[in-house]
Chain A
């Protein structure tokens, strides 16, 4: 398992500002929850800065401590017994693995995708190594991502080649 490219972003800038600088032509970004925005922007930066594309059978293996708790809390605020309007657009992001699906759609990737709740990046790296060794994928995009708010987040992404 060889590292092809790596990126580490942490509270650098507002994610929307990063989106406007590095992408700008994918309006669906604005509908995503914070975790998906973070994974999306970090992946775009990783690929653009290294002039890379993901292989069609790339595995996308993400993990983190927080999952999509930020969006879950937002969704909960829309569940009010007196004024009952739970938001469908927030509901669809109440699973942390949605971020990997967004990346697969964006990059036309058909490999396995998964999201783990983990305490450390080391655990994620072991799982990535295991996944690559048991699969026939040439590439794996591994990302440890935690999103608290637009200006409080961290993402460490590594693109591996088998």
Chain B
């Protein structure tokens, strides 16, 4: 699980061009949107694509996104439960 979180942080930094951040700057449970990393709606689309491209997970219900992308921990939990790759 820890490896997955570390991998996710690296993938988020790469996919969202957060070039001034290191994986260690992202806390496992810190909010990704709003007061956390301050991601926006375009970033949300990139995260949806990241799950699809890297883990073979398609999010059928967009309403789920708010919970799935709450933090790195919630993303990792979702990937562990739904990963097809």
- Interface SS of chain A: helix, strand, loop or mixed? helix
B interface residues, how many (CB within 8 angstroms): 13
Q: In whole angstroms, what is the CA distance A63 to B38 when docked?
A: 31
* Nearest Cβ on chain B to A39's Cβ, whole angstroms: 17
Residues of A within 8 A of B43 (CB): 89
Interface pair B46/A30, CB less than 8 Å apart: no
Chain A: interface size category = 10 to 19
Residues of B within 8 A of A89 (CB): 16-17, 42-43, 45-46
Residues of A within 8 A of B45 (CB): 88-89
Interface pair B17/A30, CB less than 8 Å apart: yes
Q: Which listed residue (B17, B19, B46, B53) contacts A88, Cβ 8 A?
A: B46
Residues of B within 8 A of A27 (CB): 18, 20, 38
Please tell me if B52 contacts chain A, counting CB pairs below 8 Å.
Answer: yes
Q: Which listed residue (B16, B19, B49, B53) contacts A16, Cβ 8 A?
A: B19
Residues of B within 8 A of A31 (CB): 16-17
Residues of A within 8 A of B17 (CB): 30-31, 89
List 5 A-B pairs, minimum CB-CB distance, nearest first. Answer: A88-B45, A30-B19, A30-B17, A31-B17, A88-B42
- Chain A interface residues toward B at CB < 8 A: 16, 27, 30-31, 83, 85, 87-89, 92
Interchain Cβ contacts under 8 Å between A and B, 21 examples:
A16-B19, A27-B18, A27-B20, A30-B18, A30-B19, A30-B20, A31-B16, A31-B17, A83-B53, A85-B52, A85-B53, A87-B49, A88-B42, A88-B45, A88-B46, A88-B49, A89-B16, A89-B17, A89-B43, A89-B45, A92-B42
